[in-house]
Amino acid sequence: MIDIALDKPAPTFIAVAEVWVPREGRLVLSSGDYGDRTAFAAASGSESFARGEGLPGKAWAEARPVVLKDFAGSYLRRAASALADGLTSALAIPVFNGTVLKAVLVVFCAGDADHMGAIEVWAEHEGALRLNDGYYGAAKDFEWVSQHAHFAKGTGLPGGVWASNTPMLMRDLGKGYSFIRAKSAGEAGLTTGLGLPVPVPGGATYVVTLLSAKGTPIARRFEIWDARPTRVGPGGQAILIDGICAREGRLWNDETEQRVAVWQGPIGRVLGSGEPLVLGRSAVLPAGYDQMVALPIHQGGVLSHIVAWYC
């Protein structure tokens, strides 16, 4: 079966996810799932951030994905409760439609001493994508190799996302690639990679990659939905173009399209609102999953894709 399939679910790399949306000039919590981390949940519910404030406000102000690896003494306003609940790193992804901020998605990771995995932000510099920042848990050697890697347009997961303007899900990261990084990924046990473009005002190129290890997956189910009107037609629909699941195996089907319409289910809600969505344990989630994160990508003035992962 596929690499991320596990008989017995292991703790996932991502522990907490939350969506902050702009309301009257500040970012307020729209949805979030904190699991049993009640202290952090309580601290978050009462928060709001102005542009430039805290981690969500920083991603908004700087219009780029931001990785925060050391909470103590940082600009993370909820650092004390985050640390108390065992959270050790975070990634904030701003969701822009053109120049308009739709939301900021923030994910927190936990239990990192033994966790292999990587969350990376790649930025274009001098015609190639280079590592802007990243969090690697215990994959220290891989971190070093990544810091010295670069990807041309069309090559590797980051370069492939950049060239196609499309989220991509890649398998077998450890073999058959012309990159030193691939060998190191294999040694770190990293097998599955999700890459997504992060469009921002001003035209800078950012690609976020989530690299999952077999034993300590980032998530156990990934989905990529294509919502471009030039692909699915007008009227707000999305087609599942790729996906893998630890329980169900492959989710894609090259003969029969799986479509959702606007406001139909969680993906339809994202289609309708244009904002990310985080759901906790719920009847609408696939069986066996306690958390869903769905992230929309806006390109060329339309919602082009939705990436969803499930823990």
Binding mask 143-182 for another protein (x = CB under 8 A): ---------xxxxx--xx--xxxx-xxxxxx-xxxxxx-x
Task: Write down the least CB distance from residue 256 to another protein, Å.
Answer: 13
User: What tokens appear for 218 in the block?
Assistant: 């980032």
C-beta of residue 238 within 8 angstroms of C-beta of residue 227: yes
Residue 202 engages another protein in binding (rule: CB under 8 A): no
Half-sphere exposure at residue 105, Cβ-oriented, CA atoms within 13 angstroms = 24
User: What tokens appear for 90 in the block?
Assistant: 């975070």
C-beta of residue 116 within 8 angstroms of C-beta of residue 141: no
Angle formed at CA 170 by CA 127 and CA 307, multiple of 5 degrees? 85
* Contact region with another protein (CB under 8 A), list: 45-53, 97-105, 234-242, 281-289: 234-242
Residue from 275, 279, 305 nearest 293 by CA:
279
Total number of residues shown for the chain: 311
DSSP conformation letters of 222-252:
EEEEE--HHHH-SSSEEEEEEEEETTTEE--
Residue 238 engages another protein in binding (rule: CB under 8 A): no
Task: Write down the least CB distance from residue 32 to another protein, Å.
Answer: 31
DSSP conformation letters of 136-156:
EET-HHHHHHHHT-EE-TTSH
* Contact region with another protein (CB under 8 A), list: 45-53, 83-91, 115-123, 249-257: 249-257
Choice between 11 and 300, CB closer to another protein = 300
With a CB cutoff of 8 Å and minimum separation 6, the contacts of 273 are none
Contact pick of 242, 289, 296, 307 for another protein (by CB under 8 A): 242
C-beta atoms surrounding 59 within 10 Å? 28
The Cα 31–Cα 19 span in angstroms is 5
| Chain position carrying tokens 């996810």 | 17
Binding mask 60-99 for another protein (x = CB under 8 A): ----------------------------------------
Choice between 26 and 153, CB closer to another protein = 153
Residue 240 engages another protein in binding (rule: CB under 8 A): no
Residue 300 engages another protein in binding (rule: CB under 8 A): yes
Task: Write down the least CB distance from residue 89 to another protein, Å.
Answer: 27
Residue 254 engages another protein in binding (rule: CB under 8 A): yes
Choice between 138 and 232, CB closer to another protein = 232
Strand partners, 131: 122
Task: Write down the least CB distance from residue 200 to another protein, Å.
Answer: 17
Binding residues (CB under 8 A) for another protein: these are 1-3, 152-156, 159-160, 163-166, 168-173, 175-180, 182, 229-235, 242, 244, 249-250, 252, 254, 300
